[in-house]
Amino acid sequence: MTNDKFKKNKKKSAVVLLSGGLDSAVTLFYAKSKGFETYSLTFDYGQRHKKEIYLAEKLAKRAASYWQHVKIELPWKGSSLLDEKLKLPTNRKIGKGIPSTYVPARNIIFLSFAASYAESIKADAIFIGANIIDYSGYPDCREDFLKSMQQSIIKGTKRGVENKKVRIYTPLLKKNKQQIVKLAKRLEVPLELTWSCYKGGKKPCGVCDSCRLREQGFNSANVMDPTLC
């Protein structure tokens, strides 16, 4: 796993995990800014609403990125993002414990799909918008996990054992939400096409973890959130 080392001597391609949220959108535009031809990968995994998926397609189009939409099923659920019988947490103390919105092994699943996709198209990299500073406490956003996934991809793929490694890039890993919003403005990310709220609807709920973290980021960056207009 690495953040900033990019080869300048050849055309590069990357699979970008694109949820339609703020962090993944910034990651996509960051990869484009570094000269990567991007292949955006979006999952319908049974989440509560499809708004992010709809916006992910629009973001990919705006970034002139290829877009791949994959539908998978997690019938065992195990998360309030998947099971509408479970209540979404609101106004909780963020960072204290792992919330019910954690989807079991989600980034392991997503990165495994991304590794398969990257290997099949001979992509050089996988970009993921994981973040360890302003996040809800998910274990699969941590640096040690991402480093272990990098090693698994190297050891478990044909390209890896042939020393044609697919690298995981995490450009937002140690940035706070304020820095991410400022980077979004610098990269001219169409923020009106991003959605962070765990609920669907016309306007963000404002009380889930994701809404509150987003609000803090926009406020501290002194930027108006277009989804609230």
Q: In this predicted model, what pLDDT tens digit does every residue of 2-13 receive, in sequence order?
A: 555 555 546 899
State the pLDDT at residue 226. Answer: 97
The CATH number assigned to the domain holding 82 equals 3.40.50.620
Q: Is residue 163 part of a domain?
A: yes
Strands across the sheet with 12-17, in order?
Answer: 66-71, 36-44, 12-17, 125-127, 167-169
Q: Is residue 26 part of a domain?
A: yes
Q: Is residue 229 part of a domain?
A: no
List, for residues 42-75, the tens digit of each pLDDT value.
Answer: 999 999 999 999 999 999 999 999 999 999 999 9
* Residue-range definition of the domain harbouring residue 24: 12-223
Q: Is residue 171 part of a domain?
A: yes
Name the domain count of the chain: 1
Q: Is residue 6 part of a domain?
A: no
Q: Is residue 178 part of a domain?
A: yes
Q: Is residue 182 part of a domain?
A: yes
Q: Reply yes or no on whether the pLDDT at 29 is more than 70.
A: yes
Q: Is residue 210 part of a domain?
A: yes
State the pLDDT at residue 137. Answer: 82
